[in-house]
Structure 1
Amino acid sequence: MSKAYLTIDDGPTTITRQMIDYLTSKNITPILFFYGQQMEKHFEEGVYALQQGAVIGNHSYSHPCFNDITFDECVSEIEQQEEWMTRLHEVAGVERQYKLFRFPYGAKGGKNKVLIQDYLRENGFNRIDDRAVEFDGYKNEQMNLDIDVFWTFDFAEYQLHNADEFTYESIIERIHDSNPQNGAVLLEENTNHIILLHDHENTEALIPEYYKILIDYVMEQGVEFVNPKFVI
Structure 2
Amino acid sequence: MATAYLTVDDAPSATLPEKLAALEDYGVTALFFCEGRRLAEHADHARRAVEAGHLLGNHAFDHNHASDIAVEDFAEEVDRTEAAIDEVYEAAGIERPATLFRFPFGDKGGDRAGEFQTVLADRGFRPPNADLIGYDFWADHAGDRDWFWTVDVADYDVDTKAGLAENVADAADRLGSDSRDILLFHDGGNDPEQFEHYLKLLDERGVVFGDPLDLVDGVASASD
TM-score, normalised to structure 1's length? 0.85
Tell me, yes or no, if structure 1 residue 203 matches structure 2 residue 190.
yes
1:163-202 equivalent positions in 2, closer than 5 A: 168-177=161-170, 185-200=173-188, 202=189
Tell whether the 8 Å contact from 1:187 to 1:221 is kept in structure 2 after alignment: no
Equivalent-residue separation in structure 1 for 2:71 and 2:122 (angstroms): 15
Equivalent-residue separation in structure 2 for 1:187 and 1:148 (angstroms): 21
Tell whether the 8 Å contact from 1:2 to 1:186 is kept in structure 2 after alignment: no
Number of the residue aligned with 1:156: 154
Equivalent-residue separation in structure 2 for 1:114 and 1:185 (angstroms): 33
Equivalent-residue separation in structure 2 for 1:125 and 1:189 (angstroms): 28
Tell whether the 8 Å contact from 1:28 to 1:226 is kept in structure 2 after alignment: yes
Tell me, yes or no, if structure 1 residue 215 matches structure 2 residue 161.
no
Query: Given the superposition, is the C-alpha separation of residues 203 and 22 from structure 1 closer, same or farther in structure 2, using an over 3 Å criterion?
Result: closer
What amino acid does structure 2 have at the position aligned with 1:203?
N
Tell me, yes or no, if structure 1 residue 231 matches structure 2 residue 217.
yes
Equivalent-residue separation in structure 1 for 2:81 and 2:22 (angstroms): 27
Which secondary structure state, in structure 2, belongs to the residue aligned with residue 203 of structure 1?
Answer: coil
1:95-110 equivalent positions in 2, closer than 5 A: 95-110=95-110
What amino acid does structure 2 have at the position aligned with 1:196?
L
Number of the residue aligned with 1:2: 2
Say which structure is richer in helix.
2
Deviation at 1:17, TM superposition (A): 1.1
Tell me, yes or no, if structure 1 residue 32 matches structure 2 residue 32.
yes
Which secondary structure state, in structure 2, belongs to the residue aligned with residue 128 of structure 1?
Answer: coil
What amino acid does structure 2 have at the position aligned with 1:225?
F
Q: Which structure 2 residue ranges, 5 or more long, are not aligned?
A: 219-224
TM-score, normalised to structure 2's length? 0.88
What amino acid does structure 2 have at the position aligned with 1:172?
A
* Superposition misfits of 4+ residues, deviation over 4 angstroms: none
Which secondary structure state, in structure 2, belongs to the residue aligned with residue 76 of structure 1?
Answer: helix
Deviation at 1:194, TM superposition (A): 0.1
Deviation at 1:111, TM superposition (A): 2.1
Equivalent-residue separation in structure 2 for 1:190 and 1:209 (angstroms): 32
Tell whether the 8 Å contact from 1:61 to 1:77 is kept in structure 2 after alignment: yes
Equivalent-residue separation in structure 2 for 1:138 and 1:231 (angstroms): 14
Equivalent-residue separation in structure 1 for 2:163 and 2:95 (angstroms): 40
Q: Which structure 1 residue ranges, 5 or more long, are not aligned?
A: 162-166, 179-183
Tell whether the 8 Å contact from 2:5 to 2:209 is kept in structure 1 after alignment: yes
RMSD after superposition: 2.0
Number of the residue aligned with 1:111: 111
Residue identity over aligned pairs, in percent, reads 31
